[in-house]
Amino acid sequence: MSDEVVRIIFEPPGKDEPGFLRRNKQAMVFSVRLRELQNKNQREWTMKDTELFDDMIEFLLPYIKEPEDPEEARNMLWDASEEDFNKMFGAVQGLEEKTSEENPTEAPTG
């Protein structure tokens, strides 16, 4: 397995881009669903609960500029750190300053 570092180029929407409330509503829905999941007893978790994570990845995917291949970008989002994931969500919500970020992620190869 290689420890090759691959970069994600993430470009969140700017303050003047349409859809601000729509993006924030969706992010809030994710927060509520995640909190509800965390409050559940693990024995109560269902396969439906795991869809939350797929939905969160799909929410961020349009803002990944590199890699250009959607499947590769999706896989890299799955491998992102908690800190990077939270920063990307904050940026999409307009809570972080808009900058093009490069997020290093170790790419599993082998």
Per-residue model confidence (pLDDT) at position 43: 81
Q: Which pLDDT does position 105 carry in this prediction?
A: 52
pLDDT score for 39: 87
pTM over cut 0.85 = no
H or E stretch including 27? Answer: helix 20-39
For residues 92 and 13, is the Cβ–Cβ distance under 8 A?
A: yes
Burial 34-55 (b: 16+ CB within 10 A, else e): eeebeeeeeeeeeeeeeeeeee
Residue with tokens 């970020």: 101
| Structural domain that includes position 82 | 5-106
Tell me how many domains the chain contains. Answer: 1
Report the C-alpha gap between 60 and 77 in whole angstroms: 8
pLDDT mean by block of 10 residues, the chain; 110 residues: 70 91 91 87 82 93 93 94 90 66 49
Task: Give the span between the Cα atoms of 79 and 104, in whole angstroms.
Answer: 10
Q: So what's the pLDDT on residue 41?
A: 83
pLDDT of residue 40: 83
Q: What radius of gyration, in Å, describes the C-alpha atoms of the chain? A: 15
